[in-house]
Amino acid sequence: MASSSHLAFRVNCCLQRPSVSDNFHRLKTSLSSTFKPFLRELEQLSLRIDVSKAFFKNTSLRLLDVFVDSMFEFVDQPLLPSQSNFAPVDELKETVLVTNIEGKVPNDFPEGVYVRNGPNPLFGGLKSAVSMFGRSSHIWVEGEGMLHVLYFDKARDGSWTVTYKNKYVESETFELEKQRNKPSFLPAIEGSSPAILSAYLLNLLRFGKVNKYLSNTNVFEHSGKYYSVAENHMPQEINMFTLETLGNWDVNGAWDRPFTSHPKRAPDTGELVIIGVDATKPFMQLGIVSADGKRLVHKVDLKFNRCSLTHDVGLTRRYNVIMDFPLILDIQRLLKGGPLIKYDKAEYARIGIMPRYADADSIKWFQVESSSTFHLLNCFEDGHQVVVRACRALDSIIPGPDMGVDKFEWFSRRLKQVESVDEYSSDSEDGSLFSRCCEWRLNMKTGDVKERYLTGTEFSMDFPSINGNFTGVKNKYGYTQVIDCSASSDSGMAKYGGLAKLHFEEPDTDYFVSVNQKDGQYEELIKVDYHKFEQNTFCTGAAFVPKPGSHEEDDGWIITFVHNEETNMSKAYIIDTRRFTSEPVAKITLPCRVPYGFHGAFMPILLGNLTASEY
């Protein structure tokens, strides 16, 4: 078996070299006309060699498939009853008209599309692969992307037509496994070092790729086109009417690496700021895409000395904001028997402020307290300071425990409720995934850093959103999903039992101060309003929808998918953000279950009064 793998590896390496045909072509152009009678015979020989090589390649791939099928067993990762809505659903074949609406869609709600991405694993759920090398497993964020979409179409008489559709994002690797009609890629993130390394090698030899292209995390728009994305590959363009996957977006061949799930549009130029993280140098690059989406106008290696798994990028009017926190992917650590991905709170954390079109040497780095930050609320300039607001926890929810050992216990302890600031600041594992909104003020003139929490320990919150018109400029309001710590700890998976509205310029008069353990100073918390769902009802994909024509930042709605675990029914809620604690103005019952997922967005699109059958 080892010799077979070694042979296949040698074949794969040979196939990366110039072909025999190329070599003969170069030879042919260098020969004098005296040898022309012999060239036809040389070409025929070249063709025969290439055919033999192709045959050898196909044969070796078939042998590798036989080896994997005989030596690796794919087993399902079971779900607890409390995790049932993390299970995948079938793809619908038709767009479905939605008629069960409690309340009503507001008259001034914009016509358009609400879309949410999320993992929906093929073949019944996430898998583990067991072999002589050990066990490797999918982690909870894996699974092929599926888009869940509500279309809001307004007729001339003011009536609304609401339709629902779901569809897989059909990436290259999705199509490959679908054609094979069985799990084929070996899990290559979590597990023992020999299992991960064997998965890495065998996936590369068989498919030319280390892992599947998930495309399951977010959806964004740029220059009138729509894209589905996850960190491990470039985005896929989506036809937002049919949900057809149109192919990879590589910015006309200028971007050849992974792509952040949260690109940001610059407030004045309309350009798109992106980053891409990779496992080998250059570990992180930053790019700027033209406003029309056709050109990469700037690309730079940020010269990281480690692969920090950075999920988000920020910007202000003049700067890019780079997060370098200690969630690290390290191949050398894997080769030494350790985990591929590990959060190491003993390592440094820093935030970089970079002039928009500068190079790595122009970045001003600020050392900050080590923590785990995936999502930024917003960044903006305030005098000499750059203000960065984000959701921060003391541990990372990705990837989970080293080697995937005791997953349920690991997540259950860390998702517990934190009772006080003192408890939150301790080194206890209990509640270490409790996420609070925080603020860094980075002084570009003096280099000073001021860190403070904006929210207390009443509720854990993440998955933030703002009015997109205020990206990169000073804003007054933000919105987050609120974690139900009790339900999350009981199920070992994060569940969001409500929403929060953050008032950045208003103090919390009920809980005015909190103790900063670092220097003993007292600091002010901000006012937060909460919208709590019914018991055992949880949301995903919350997005802010601004009211058309309004100049008030918080004039609009939050739209989100919710699921009631008692009735097993999924709905979409529309909540007036100016009456945030009130009942939703509309509850839209969906025709099928919508599993919990990741990020959602609302895209204002004129649908042209299409009927459900025309989408």
**313/260 Cα distance (integer angstroms):** 8
DSSP state of 433: T
Torsion angle, alpha carbons of 332, 338, 340, 346, to 10: -90
Please state whether beta strands 600-604 and 112-116 pair in parallel, antiparallel, or not at all (unpaired).
antiparallel
Radius of gyration of the CA atoms of the chain, in A: 26
- Alpha-carbon gap, residue 565 to 250, rounded angstroms: 40
Single-letter amino acid code for the residue at 435: S
What values do phi and psi take at 153, rounded to 5? -115, 120
CA dihedral 72, 73, 77, 78 (to 10 degrees): -170
- What span, in angstroms and rounded, lies between the C-alpha atoms of 553 and 477? 7
User: Residue 575's closest CA among 588, 593, 566, 590?
Assistant: 588
- Residues that constitute the known binding site for Fe cation: 262, 311, 375, 599
The number of CA neighbours under 13 Å toward the Cβ of 446 is: 9
| Cα(70)–Cα(135) distance, integer angstroms | 15
Rounded CA separation 373/393 (Å): 7
- Burial of residue 337 (CB within 10 Å: 0-12, 13-18, 19+) is exposed
- Amino acid in position 27: L
Reduced to 3 states, what is the DSSP secondary structure of residue 373?
strand
Distance of CA 280 to the CA centre of its chain: 20
User: Which residues are annotated binding-site positions?
Assistant: 262, 311, 375, 599
Say how far residue 7 (Cα) sits from the centre of its chain: 37
Distance of alpha carbon 320 from alpha carbon 309, whole angstroms: 17
Instruction: Please report which residue ranges of 137-265 form alpha helices under DSSP H.
Output: 172-180, 193-207
Q: Token match 């949301």: residue?
A: 539
Residues in the chain: 615
> Tokens in use for 328?
């690290």
Q: How far is the C-alpha of 482 from the C-alpha of 538, rounded, in Å?
A: 9
CA 598 to chain centre: 7
